[in-house]
């Protein structure tokens, strides 16, 4: 059993939100824009990434089903 591979309960949300926080801070520090505009850009990027990832997963599942 590899117990060291199991994440603690508090660490999972940290890993989930850490890229968004990093992206927000990077945009804010590089461009010096107001926080609502930066937050809107971050949310747009997260939603777009999620949609692309979801569509590619559905397409991959459909291709694998129809190739049987």
Domain locations along the chain: 8-66
- The pLDDT score that the predictor gives to residue 56 is 96
Distance (Å, rounded) from C-alpha 24 to C-alpha 34?
11
Closest by Cα among 46, 6, 48 to 22: 46
By percentage, how much of the chain surpasses pLDDT 90?
A: 32
Summarize pLDDT for 32-64 with one digit per residue, the tens: 889 899 999 989 988 998 899 999 999 999 999
pLDDT above 60: residue 1: no
Question: Average per-residue pLDDT in the chain?
Answer: 84
Q: What is the gyration radius of the CA atoms in the chain, in angstroms?
A: 17
CB atoms within 10 A of CB 24: 18
């Amino acid at each position: 059993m590899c117990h060291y591979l199991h994440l603690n309960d508090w660490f999972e949300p940290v890993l989930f939100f850490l890229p968004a926080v990093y992206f927000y801070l990077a945009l804010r520090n590089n461009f010096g824009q107001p926080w609502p505009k930066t937050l809107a850009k971050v949310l747009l990027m997260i939603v777009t990434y999620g949609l692309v990832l979801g569509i590619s997963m559905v397409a991959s599942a459909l291709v694998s089903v129809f190739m049987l």
